[in-house]
């Protein structure tokens, strides 16, 4: 009887804290967007986001900047919505 070979889990090459932060921030289709922005394959970004397996500093920097830009945009939109809400209640 043939036994299933387990796919080896990729080794994490970034800090646990950074990987945990990426996991918290990751949303559906982020890997595709990041891959297009950084001009790499989606599986490369999947490995980075899922396992923390990254071999190039430019990918780490690119992923960090992607999440930073998204957070800044969301904070800006939230501030604008709060401003509109306070204007409508006055």
What does the pLDDT look like over 30-84, one tens digit per residue? Answer: 999 999 999 999 999 999 999 999 999 999 999 999 999 999 999 999 999 999 8
CB 52 within 8 A of CB 9: no
CA separation, residue 55 to residues 70, 77, 84 (Å): 24, 34, 45
- In this prediction the pTM is 0.82
**Distance from C-alpha of 62 to C-alpha of 39, rounded to nearest angstrom:** 10
pLDDT, position 79: 94
What is the arithmetic mean of pLDDT over 11-15?
93
**Distance from C-alpha of 35 to C-alpha of 58, rounded to nearest angstrom:** 12
Going by C-alpha positions, the residue among 7, 10, 6, 9 that lies closest to residue 55 is: 10
């Amino acid at each position: 009887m043939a036994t299933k070979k387990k796919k080896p889990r990729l080794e994490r090459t970034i800090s646990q804290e950074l990987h945990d932060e990426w996991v918290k921030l990751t949303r559906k289709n982020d890997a595709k967007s990041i891959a297009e922005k950084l001009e790499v394959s989606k599986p490369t970004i999947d490995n980075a986001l899922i396992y923390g397996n990254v071999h190039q500093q430019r990918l780490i920097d690119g992923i960090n900047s992607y999440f930073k830009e998204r957070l800044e945009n969301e904070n800006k939109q939230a501030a604008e919505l709060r401003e509109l809400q306070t204007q409508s209640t006055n």
